[in-house]
Amino acid sequence: MADEPNGLALLEHRLRQDLEWLKLPARSWVKPRHQNDGRHVYDVVVVGAGMCGLAATAQLKFLGVDNILTVDRNEKGFEGPWATYARMVTLRSPKDLVGPALGLPVLTYRAWHEAHFGMQSFTDLGKIDRLAWMEYLRWYRDVLALDIRNCVSADHVADFDAELLEIDLSGPGLLDLPSKILTRRVVLATGRDNVAGTNIPDFMSALDKRWWAHSTETIDLPTLEGKRIGVIGAGASAMDNAGYLLENGAASVHVLFRRSDIPRINKFTGIETPGTVLGLVDLSDEMKWRFIQHATAAQVPPPRESLLRVSRHVNAYFHPHWPVTDIKVDGDELVLSTEGSILKLDFILLATGFVSDVTHQEEIRDFAGNILRWSDVFTPPEGCENDGLSLSPYLGRGFEFQEREKGATPALRRIHCFNFSATLSHGKVSGDVPAVSEGAQRLARSIASAFFREDGDAHLQDLFDFSTPELLGDEWRPAQNASSE
C-alpha cells in the first residue's frame, strides 16, 4: 500500500487543532513533592508502554498530571505483544474499533489508516493487520509526544514513607536516570504476561525446558524446522501459533485440547455495549462474578480465519478430548499419554493462557502476601466455581490494590493494576482493544481525584491566597445625589 500524499501531515495538523480547541493537555496543577536529599519525586510511574501504558500516560497528561515517568523493558517500537510474540495475521476486533483514542476521532486507527493509505484502502480492509496496528501505536506515541523510557525495567516497588513508593530500575536505557526513584503512584500497565503470569500445567513441571516453550516466548524457528510439534490449547493463541509453525517448516503440528469440540460462540461479543463497559464495575460482586465466570467458562473461540489458517495444511492434526496425563522423554522424542492413547513429538508449545495470581509478581513481592483477592471476600454460588478467577485481585474503583490485613501495607493503595488481572473487578477495559479508552480515563480520573484530595489543604490555601482582580475599579461609579423622579 502506498502512502496517501500529505495524509498524515494533515491528520497531525487536525489533531493539534483539536487539542488546542479542547485545551488539552490541561495546565499542570498537581502539587510537587520535595525530598530533603534533593531526589526528584514523580507523581506517577507507569510500568509498561504497550497500548494500555500509552493510553494511561496520554490521559494523565491530558488531565494536567504531567510529572510522569513511563518505562518499558523492550526496545522502542516493540512494546507489547504485537511485534514480538503475537503470531496472528490480523486483530480479532473489527476494523472500526475506537481503541485508545480517548474520545478524539483523529486518534483512532481508522483516521491513521485513511490518512496513511487512503479511504478506499480502509473500505477494502477486512481486519487490521497486526503489524499495521503496531505501526499505529508507534505513531500514537510520537504524535502525542509521550515521554517513554525504553530498555528500562522496574524491578522492585517498595514502601518509602507514608506518601511515597521507591522503585528500583535497571537496564541500558537508564542513562541519566538514577537506579532508585521515588513516586506517589505506580501504574502496572503490564498486559497479560506480567502481573497475570503464564499458566503452566502441572504435567510440565518435570520436563526440561529444551523440550517446550510458552506461546509468549520467542520461538527459535530453525531448530523446529522438520519437527513434530504439539500445540496444547484450542484458543486463538493456539491456532495463531500452530499456523505460524506450519508456515515455517514444521513437519507436522498436532493441536491437543481437552474438550470434545472447539468453542464456537464468543460470549463476550454478545455484551459489547457501552452499558457493559460503564456499568460492570458498579455491579454487585455476585453479578460481576456471574458475568465473567460464564463467559470465561464458555471459553473464547479462535477467530474463524485463524482456524482455517491451520486446517488448510495437510500436516495439521486436531486431537479433541485429549487431556495430557503424562509426558516422558524417550531418547530423542517425547511420548505424551492420555487415557490409553500415546503421541510421539519433538517439541511442545503451550498455548495455555495466563493466570491472575499476583503473588507471583516479582516487582511487588513486598506487598504480594497482603493483596486482597476475590477468594478473600467472595464465595461463588454452587456450580459457578472458578479457581482461576478466585486468584484475581479485588481492586478498588481506580484499579488500586487493596489490603487483606488493613493497615499492614498502606502503600498498596498507591499501586494500580491496569492490566489483564483487573478484568473481574472492572471488566474488559484494561487489556482488550475496544474499551481501553474507558479504562484509561477511569484510571486517570481516579488518580487525579486522589491527588487533589490528598493535597486539599494546599489547594484550599491557593483559593485563600488568590488575589488577581478581574475588575480594576474604574469600570463604574456610584450615583451622586441622583433623583428618583
Q: How many CA atoms lie within 13 A of 438 on its CB side?
A: 20
Q: What is the pLDDT of residues 264-310, one digit of tens each?
A: 998 888 788 899 999 999 999 999 999 999 988 888 899 999 999 99
Q: What would the mean pLDDT of 421-445 be, rounded to a whole number?
A: 95
CB 117 within 8 A of CB 4: yes
Give dist(CA 194, CA 362) in Å, integer: 9
- The answer to whether domain 7-195+356-458 and domain 202-264+301-350 are alike in fold is yes
Number of Cβ within 10 Å of residue 150's Cβ equals 18
| C-alpha–C-alpha distance, residues 367 and 350, integer Å | 30
**Which residues are CB-neighbours of 96 under 8 A, at least 6 positions away?**
110
Q: What is the mean pLDDT of residues 152-174?
A: 96
Beta strands in 6-64 (DSSP E): 41-47
* 3-class secondary structure, 143: helix
**Domain ranges for the chain:** 7-195+356-458, 202-264+301-350
Average pLDDT value over all residues in the chain: 93
Q: What percent of the chain has pLDDT over 70?
A: 97
| Helices of type H across 22-169 | 51-62, 109-117, 119-124, 130-143
Name the residue among 74, 94, 68, 57 with its Cα closest to residue 303: 94
Asked whether the predicted pLDDT for residue 1 surpasses 70, the reply is no
> From CA 91, how far away is CA 65, in angstroms rounded?
32
Residues contacting residue 299 through CB under 8 Å, at least 6 positions apart:
234, 235, 259, 263
CA angle 156, 158, 161 (to 5 degrees): 155
β-bridge pairing 252-256 and 228-232: parallel
Range 53-71 average pLDDT: 98
Digit-coded pLDDT (tens) for 200-242 = 888 887 899 999 999 988 888 889 999 999 999 999 999 999 9
Instruction: For residue 235, count other CB atoms closer than 10 A to its CB.
Output: 19
| Neighbour count for residue 421 (Cβ, 10 Å) | 30
Give per-residue pLDDT as tens, 127-152.
999 999 999 999 999 999 999 999 99
pLDDT score at 221: 85
Pairing type for strands 228-232 and 347-350 reads parallel
Average pLDDT over residues 393-397: 96
CATH number of 202-264+301-350: 3.50.50.60
Residue bearing the bigger pLDDT, 484 or 244: 244
- Name the pLDDT band for 400 (thresholds 50, 70, 90): very high
Please give the model's pTM, rounded to 2 decimal places.
Answer: 0.93
Region 413-428 average pLDDT: 95
Contact of 356 with 421, CB cutoff 8 Å? yes
pLDDT digit string, tens, across residues 175-184: 999 999 999 9
Q: What is the pLDDT of residue 271?
A: 81
pLDDT of residue 2 exceeding 60, the answer is no
- The helix or strand, by DSSP H or E, that contains position 306, with its residue range, turns out to be helix 304-311
| pLDDT top residue among 385 and 194 | 385
Q: Given a cut of 90, is residue 56 above it in pLDDT?
A: yes
Q: What is the arithmetic mean of pLDDT over 435-463?
A: 97
64-96: per-residue pLDDT in tens?
999 999 999 999 999 999 999 999 999 988 999
Amino acid letter, 39: R
Q: For residue 413, is it left (φ>0), alpha (ψ between -120 and 50) or beta?
A: alpha
Overall fold of domain 7-195+356-458 = FAD/NAD(P)-binding domain (3.50.50)
Checking if the pLDDT of 255 tops 90, the result is yes
